[in-house]
Amino acid sequence: MRKRRHRTRAAHAVVAAAVLATAGCAVGDRASGVSTGDRASRPSATPSPEWKHSPDSIAAIGDSITRGFDACMVLTDCPEASWATGGDASVNSLAVRLLGATGAAERSWNYAVTGSRMADLDDQMARAVRKRPELVAVMAGANDACRESTAAMTPVADFRAGFQAAMDTLRRALPKTQVYVASVPDLKRLWSEGRTNALGKQIWKLGICPSMLGDADALDAAAVKRRDTVQARVKAYNTVLKEVCAKDRLCRFDNNAVFDYRFGTEQLSHWDWFHPSRNGQARLAEIAYRTVTAKNP
């Protein structure tokens, strides 16, 4: 009987020790604000998608610049000379640099439309996502400033809403697709370079960017104010592109590299002296490639 009582007391002691040990763990976790159950049920952190420096497919959206307008012949699209997806060897487009000539022909798509403004970008993006590209290249905004007058330019708030809508359309369909965003070019510099050509100024009279290029030789106070107003609006658009892109972890803005590029007459179309020539398109491709492949944004 004494042996049984001794064994019983020993068993009770073991059980009590186990209970105290368990209680001690729970108390310790409560003291740190984390319970054992919380630790077991907490999901592991999901790593953020990493930027791919060599995406396998590309879709381009935007306006006449991305369509290669006036790069090959007067008042005509020339998508083969596009900085984004063109196959012209002299341009060496972003797609060719990333995918090779064959890959660019098979896995790059150009949905840009000449004359488009930011309000049109959402529809282009909706078409692009159907191809499920790994990279979307965006260049838009010049036509929002290139209006018949400064009063007709797209308000900055509307410009922001249009770009955000396009980004939302992309993210709803393709949360892991990367985005390269080019800044709006310096339209005032294009005016100052192109106005040196008499033929170019005649083409401008057909209606190319009248808010900036209208009365190209006028230097009176009203003309200077008009061009400065356009310039300020372009800078505001670029601020919007930077801010909206910064909110998306898979979006890279070119940090105003296109706007800051000092386009000369060699980089301008010799058909209209305003849109990029093949040489200008190649410079745009270089900027895009440098941004996409940079180690850090």
pTM, two decimals, is 0.83
Per-residue confidence (pLDDT) for residue 297, from 0 to 100: 75
Of the pLDDT bands very low, low, confident and very high (cuts 50, 70, 90), residue 228 is: very high
**How far apart are alpha carbons 182 and 110 in whole angstroms?**
15
Cα first-last separation, the chain: 81
The pLDDT mean for the chain works out to 88
Ranking 32-41, 144-153, 230-239 by mean pLDDT, the lowest is 32-41
- By DSSP bridging, strand 58-62 and strand 251-253 are unpaired
pLDDT in tens, 194-203: 999 998 899 9
Nearest to 49 by CA among 242, 243, 249: 249
**Confidence band of 48 (pLDDT split at 50, 70, 90):** low
Instruction: Count CB neighbours of 11 within 10 A.
Output: 10
Given a cut of 60, whether residue 133 has pLDDT beyond it is yes
Mean pLDDT of 256-262: 97
The answer to whether the beta carbons of residues 266 and 192 sit under 8 Å apart is: no
Q: What is the DSSP string of 1-30?
A: -HHHHHHHHHHHHHHHHHHHHHHHHHHHHH
Q: CA nearest 191: which of 172, 175, 210?
A: 210
> Cβ(91)–Cβ(142) under 8 Å?
no
> What is the tens place of the pLDDT at every residue in 84-126?
999 999 999 999 999 999 999 999 999 999 999 999 999 999 9
Burial class (CB in 10 A: 0-12, 13-18, 19+), 197: middle
| Stretch among 23-27, 87-91, 293-297 having the lowest mean pLDDT | 23-27
Distance CA 171, CA 128 (A): 12
Q: What is the mean pLDDT of residues 5-16?
A: 45
Of the candidates 99, 101, 98, 122, the one whose C-alpha atom is nearest the C-alpha of residue 111 is 122
> What pLDDT shows up at residue 296?
83
Q: Is the pLDDT of residue 80 over 80?
A: yes
CATH 3.40.50.1110, applies to 58-293: yes
Q: Does the pLDDT of residue 23 top 70, yes or no?
A: no
16 confidence band (pLDDT: 50, 70, 90): very low
Per-residue model confidence (pLDDT) at position 166: 98
Residue 141 has pLDDT above 70, yes or no: yes
Residue, of 38 and 74, whose pLDDT is higher: 74
251 within 8 A of 178, measured Cβ to Cβ: yes
The reported pLDDT for the residue numbered 253 is 98
Pairing of strands 108-110, 58-62: parallel
User: Is the per-residue pLDDT at 32 higher than 70?
Assistant: no
Is the pLDDT assigned to residue 128 strictly greater than 70?
Answer: yes
pLDDT-wise least confident of 7-11, 141-145, 237-241: 7-11
Interhelix angle 278-293/94-107, rounded to 10 degrees, is 90
